Each structure stands twice: as structure tokens, then as C-alpha cells.
Amino acid sequence: MAVPLILLVSLIAGVISIGMAVFFAFLVMKEDPGNEKMQEVSGYIEKGAETYLKVQYTVLSIFVFILFLVILLFLPSDMTNHKVPVVSGDLNWEQAIAYLIGSAASMIAGWLGMMVGVKANTRAAQGCTVGTKKGFDIAFFGGAVMGLAVVGAALIGVSGLYWIFQSPYVVLGFSFGASTIALFMKCGGGIYTKTADVGADLVGKSEFDLPEDDVRNPATIADNVGDNVGDLAGMGSDLFDSYVASIVAAMILANSLILTAAKETFIVYPLVLSGIGLIASLIGIFIIKLISSDNPGRSLNLGTYLATLIFAALGALIVWLMTLNKSLTEGEISRLWRNYFAVILGLASGIVIGWTSDYFTRDDLPPTRNIAKAAEEGDALVILSGFSYGLISVVPPGVGIIIAMFLAYLLDAQFGVAMAAVGMLAIVGTIVSNDAYGPIVDNSRAIAEQGGLGEETIRIADRLDSAGNTAKAITKGFAIGAANLAVVALMFSYAQEAGIIESGINLLSVNVLIGAFFGVMAPALFSAVLILGVQKNAAKMVDEIRRQFKENPKILTGEEPADFSKTISIATKGSLKQLILPSLISILLPLLVGIFFGVASLGAFLAGSILSGFVFAIFMSNAGGAWDNAKKWIEDGNLGGKGTHTHKSAITGDTVGDPFKDTAGPSINTLLVVMSLTSSIFMGILMLINGGAGLIPIL
């Protein structure tokens, strides 16, 4: 069947996006990088980021090559019907190549965004000497490079592969490549950044009362590098992963569920609407630039909301144009419109989740203020307070997703839910841009202080940083909600292809219950491994900082510089070493469940992991964000300010929250997507084991 020409909307939007990313990078690079000291500090950060990426990409290349061979040599080459896999002896080269392309696209997008980000930080700091608007514009355009590179690479990859091979199962390989890279980028970056951050806080701030980002602290530069590899490259690859997964899940469901002559139109439908979403994001980015003022937080939020409205209008227009196709029946036209409204439901649900994260983490609202006040009573109560508010914050997003799923299912069953997931990520270009802005202004604030730009410039940089913290909290909530809805869609597509939609999953079956229990445990085990990784590496960082202060007291007096290379090396080597076990959990655990207990048990495994993963991800991200902002609110002079017992208790809360919000919480998104895609990619093999019943077919 011929691919509908409407697919060109997605392909052209992707090309425009990459072009605009390059243009924005040019705008950022021509700005003034500041004085010699600022450029020196920025150079340390850039070198540390480059070193980390070089080592990580080397390890990743080996991992990617091994999986490429597995897909090429061992998976069924006929991917048109997983229920009846055909092992003909032919090489599965289409899906294997798609996997390589997805891996490369994710790596390139992450590298481009992060490299511009580390160049933008010193330029944004220098821009703050001119004013808030100048500093904001530079930082936001730096973040927009990541946002547009991520979405552009995703749309070009998915659209191009489908245009060439005309099979959503080939595109599934692209998604699997993106997700495996995201796993390394997000988890590794999260461990890196919190290794340095926790070490810097425990020794520099708590023991020696050094200010935030003080250049005398040996972990300062490693912390700044971590902001880039964790929040810039890591979050960008995470959203790239979820974005592609949601599109592919909808394409596979359309291929399976829609049996009319209009099947091809519905297969490309999620891609077309995603292309329209990218155009809306581009307009939103320019609107943010035009309305930027002395209130950067308001500019970021308003731009997001306007991009949402623009997408709704442009989406309705493109759907109307699609309905002009005379070959479509009235029922098919109605189905297009029903799924358009499912997309809008998903987007609205994402906004609700973002609002929730904003409410529970902003320092001018009750939850964070109450956590700060609990710090007056000591460490234990600040932990209990943050823990409780983190749990409460799970409820509103949960209700939002329930409503979105229920209404989307009424509109068009499983395909409607999949389209709601596409909708939640429709304006991901704007979301990633807002998120990438955060670490850039965080670094800018540090460089402004270390470069001696004066109190007024630092105050402006603080305002930009404060808006960045709020933006990061909102985008993390958005990312978690989007990932969960995307993996629900992937679970539907898995169940459809495995043939368990019709029969259902019997919870009274022992092997199904076993799968569900394994699924519930997976996010807990994964989170524990990551947080323990941070703890082990942070302990090494603490020992190194203390050693430097003890052996060279002139570091504390500012007479001699700290040894930044040593702390960067600890963070780099430690983060990559701690990646081994999380990677094995995400790929081997679902395969083992499927091999031993069958595809129905694996479906229950996915359901259990989605439900528990949602709770863990929302709880840890929001609790961590609230602890962080409670500490910052106290440092602004409230409740006695810096150096008090209250401040030290708040630092304890922030130290606990750091690996919650920046390592384990957001990484669960990637875990869920990787496990879902692993289940779908390897289903052909699993179906050959006792007809899909597994090695232990318990009845």
C-alpha cells in the first residue's frame, strides 16, 4: 500500500526543527562569553562533560553493537504477525538497522544539546550583566537547541523509516534504540550529578559553611558538569524515548486494530499530529522569546500554554483537511475526529500533572513552606514531612491519568488511549526547551559568582535559576505522566500482538500473578540500585573533598585552586560502573518472566511495573523537588536563614531528595519504556516457547 502523502507534514516539520536548532545554536554562540575567569570555569565544565560523554559513548557503542547482533541474528525476520512468528533463517536486517539509527539519533541529539548548553551557560551569565531579559533569552535559546534537536531527530527517524519500509514493526527497532540509549543517559547522568551534588553539600556546605557554587569546593565543577549530563542530556534522551515510544505504540495498534482500506491513514495519523505539535512548539518558542520579561517563570509557563492552544487549533485544521479525502467513509471520518479529541485529552492531562508538580514544589506555596517549617524541629521531621507530601502528590496526577484513559477509551478503545499518549507529548519541543533551560541557568548562576560579576548580576541569575527550578519540576512531572501513558499504550500493543487482548489476563492464574508481582517489584529494585549507586559514589566524593581540604588548607583560603579533575573522575567512573545492574534489570527481567511464565504473565508484569512505577516516580520527583526548594527558601533569609540548625536540617532533606528527584524518580520513566519495548521486540522468540506459555506453564 502507498504511504499517504500527509506523512510529509511530519518529515518536513522534523527537517525544519533541526534547521532551527542549528540556527539557535548560532545565535547563542555569537554572544559574549564573559571575562577570562568565567571562560575558565566554563571550560572546566565543558571539558568534564566532553570527557564523560566520550567514555559513556564508548561503553554504549559496545552495548549497542551486541544488541544489534542479537536483533539481526536471532529475532524472527517476519515481523508482520508476532502471533505466528516466522523464523526463515533470513537476517532481520530492517529492524536491526532501525535499532542502530534510533541509537545514533538519540546520541547525536543529546550531544548537540549538551554541547550548546555548556557553551550557553557563561554567555547567559554575561547576559545577566545587561539584564534579566538578555540572560533569559540566551539561556532559553540554548535550551531550545536541545528541545528542537530531540523532536526533529525523532520525527525524521520515525517518518523516514516508515516511508521506506512501510512497517511499524521496523520502526519499533528505532524506538528500542532510543530507549536503550535513554536508559544509559538518564541513569548515568543522574548518578553522576547527584554524586557530586551530595558530596558538595555534605562537606562544603554542612561542614565548612561554604556558599552555593563556591569555587573553593572541589566538587563544584563536577556538580556543574552533572547538571548538564543529568538534566540536559539525560532528560532530553528520556523525553526522546517516551515521544518515539508513544508514536510507535499508536502506529502498531492502528496496524492491528484497523482493518479497513484507510489503515495507512490511521497508521501515519499519530505522526502527522506529532508534526503539527512540533510546529506549535516552534511558534511557542518564539512567543516565549517575544514575551520574555522580568518574570521568566511566567514567560515559560505562558509560552507552554499558548503552544497548547496553538496545537489544538492547528490539529483541528489538519484533521479537517484529512477528512476531505473522498475515499474515507463517514465512520472513518468520525474516528479521526474522536482520536483528535483523545489527543487533546492527553495534552490536558499532561498540563494537570505539570500543575501538580508546580504546586507541590514551589517555595511560595503551602507544601514546600510546611516542609521548611518542619526543619525547625530537626532532621527527622523534615524527612517525614517531605515524604508525606511526596505521597500526597501522587493522587492528582493519578486521577488525571485515570480520567484521560477512561474518556480516551470511550472515544476509541485502546487506540484512543494510545492517541492520548501522543497528545500528552505533542508539544514536547516546548517542554524539553523549558527543561533544558534549567541546567543552563543553574550553571550560569555558578559562573556569575565564580566570575566575580557582582551581587546585582548574581541576583538576576538567581531569578533565572529559580524559574528554572520550577520549570524542571513541571517538566519532570510532565515527563513521568507522559511516559506512563506511553507505556500503557505499549502494553496495549504488546497484548494485541501477543493475542491476549481477546482472552484477557486472568488474575486468578498463578503464573499471571507471579508476573504481576515481579512487575510491582521491578521499579522498587531499580530505584534502590540507583540510589545505592549515588550513596556509594557520594561517599567516595566526600572522602576526596575532605582529603583535599586536609592536605591543602590553602584551598579554603582561596590561595590555591582545588583539584577538580579528581572529583570529576570519581563521578564519571562511578556513574558508569553503577549502570551495569540497572541495565540488566531493565532488559533481562522481562525476558526471564516471558521465558519461564509465558506472554500472559509478561503482560501482567508490564501492568504491575506501570502501576508501581507511576507511584515511585511521582513520589520521588515531587518529594525531592520540595525538599530542594524548602532549603532554598530558608537560604533566602527565611526561618533564620543560612547557618542555622533549621538550615542544616533542610540540607539533610535536600541531600535525601537529590537522588530521589534527579536519579531514581525520572529514570523510572526510561525503565518502563525499555521493559515494554523489550517485551515487544522479543515477543517473536517468546511465542516459540511452548506456544507462548513459557517453560513453566502453570494453569
Separation CA 282–CA 290 (nearest Å): 13
| DSSP tag of 211 | P
Mean local confidence (pLDDT), 657-677: 87
Per-residue pLDDT of 520-535, as tens digits, reads 999 999 999 999 988 8
Whether residue 292 contacts residue 137, with contact meaning beta carbons closer than 8 Å, is answered with: yes
| DSSP tag of 201 | I
Nearest-5° Cα angle at 148, 145 to 152: 135
pLDDT, residue 76, reads 66
Separation CA 271–CA 222 (nearest Å): 39
Q: Can you tell me which residue has the cell 559513556?
A: 56
> What residues does each domain of the chain span?
10-692
Return the higher-pLDDT residue of 502 and 195: 195
Residue 453, amino acid: L
Beta-carbon contacts of 58 under 8 Å, excluding residues fewer than 6 positions away, are none
pLDDT, residue 502, reads 61
Q: Residues 142, 148, 150, 154: what is their CA dihedral angle, to the nearest 10 degrees?
A: -170
Beta-carbon contacts of 259 under 8 Å, excluding residues fewer than 6 positions away, are none
Per-residue pLDDT of 262-309, as tens digits, reads 888 999 999 999 999 999 988 888 887 777 666 777 777 777 888 889
pLDDT, residue 190, reads 82
Q: Which of 285, 275, 278, 332 is nearest to 306 (CA)?
A: 285
pLDDT, residue 508, reads 74
Q: Which of 359, 442, 374, 432 is nearest to 622 (CA)?
A: 359
CA atoms within 13 A on the CB side of 294: 3
Return the higher-pLDDT residue of 413 and 384: 384
Maximum distance among all Cα pairs of the chain, rounded to whole angstroms: 80
Q: Judging by beta carbons within 10 Å of its beta carbon (0-12, 13-18, 19+), is residue 16 exposed, middle or buried? A: middle
Q: Which of 601, 609, 599, 588 is nearest to 680 (CA)?
A: 599
Q: Which of 541, 492, 527 is nearest to 225 (CA)?
A: 541
* Averaged confidence pLDDT in the chain: 85
Separation CA 336–CA 269 (nearest Å): 8
pLDDT, residue 2, reads 67
| DSSP tag of 4 | P
| DSSP tag of 502 | T
Cell numbers for 590, please give them.
522481562
Whether residue 439 contacts residue 231, with contact meaning beta carbons closer than 8 Å, is answered with: yes
pLDDT, residue 663, reads 85
Separation CA 134–CA 79 (nearest Å): 52
pLDDT, residue 629, reads 85
Cell numbers for 12, please give them.
518536513
Per-residue pLDDT of 186-229, as tens digits, reads 888 888 888 888 888 778 777 787 776 677 888 888 887 877 77
Q: Which ranges of 636-664 does DSSP label H, i.e. alpha helix?
A: 645-659
pLDDT, residue 88, reads 43
Q: State the distance between the two ends of the chain, measured CA to CA, in whole angstroms.
A: 42
Three-state secondary structure string covering 29-63: HCCCCCCHHHHHHHHHHHHHHHHHHHHHHHHHHHH
Separation CA 271–CA 458 (nearest Å): 44
Q: Residues 66, 69, 75, 76: what is their CA dihedral angle, to the nearest 10 degrees?
A: 170
Cell numbers for 309, please give them.
492552544
- Which residues are paired to 78 by β-bridges? 86
Q: For 558-614, give the DSSP string.
A: TSS---HHHHHHHHHHHHHHTTHHHHHHHHHHHHHHHHHH-HHHHHHHHHHHHHHHH
pLDDT, residue 358, reads 81
- Phi and psi for 78 in degrees, rounded to 5? -95, 105
Whether residue 606 contacts residue 519, with contact meaning beta carbons closer than 8 Å, is answered with: yes
Whether residue 151 contacts residue 236, with contact meaning beta carbons closer than 8 Å, is answered with: no
Separation CA 440–CA 219 (nearest Å): 18
pLDDT at 473 over 80: no
Per-residue pLDDT of 142-170, as tens digits, reads 888 888 888 899 999 999 999 998 888 89
Q: Percent helix, strand, coil in the chain (nearest 5)?
A: 85, 0, 15
Evaluate the CA torsion angle 247, 252, 253, 255 in order and state its sign.
positive
Q: Which of 360, 359, 341, 357 is nearest to 404 (CA)?
A: 341
Separation CA 529–CA 668 (nearest Å): 12
pLDDT at 260 over 50: yes
Separation CA 102–CA 266 (nearest Å): 23
Separation CA 692–CA 698 (nearest Å): 12
Return the higher-pLDDT residue of 294 and 334: 334
Q: Which of 564, 572, 584, 586 is nearest to 669 (CA)?
A: 586
pLDDT, residue 85, reads 41
Residue 446, amino acid: A
Separation CA 351–CA 284 (nearest Å): 15
| pTM of the predicted model as reported, rounded to 2 decimal places | 0.88
Q: Tell me how many helices (H) and strands (E) the chain has.
A: 23, 0
pLDDT, residue 504, reads 64
Say whether 78 sits in a helix, a strand or coil.
strand
Distance set, CA 317 to CA 118, 313, 326, 515, 693 (Å): 39, 6, 17, 44, 47
Separation CA 593–CA 518 (nearest Å): 8
Whether residue 78 contacts residue 85, with contact meaning beta carbons closer than 8 Å, is answered with: yes
Return the higher-pLDDT residue of 478 and 693: 693
Q: For 290-312, give the DSSP string.
A: HH--S-HHHHHHHHHHHHHHHHH
CA atoms within 13 A on the CB side of 371: 34
Helix axes 455-498, 428-450, angle to 10 degrees: 150
Separation CA 627–CA 624 (nearest Å): 5
**For residue 599, how far is the Cα from the chain centroid?**
28
Whether residue 474 contacts residue 358, with contact meaning beta carbons closer than 8 Å, is answered with: yes
Per-residue pLDDT of 92-140, as tens digits, reads 888 999 999 999 988 887 787 778 888 888 899 898 888 888 888 888 8
- Which residues are paired to 86 by β-bridges? 78
Q: Is 478 left (phi over 0), alpha (psi -120 to 50) or beta?
A: alpha
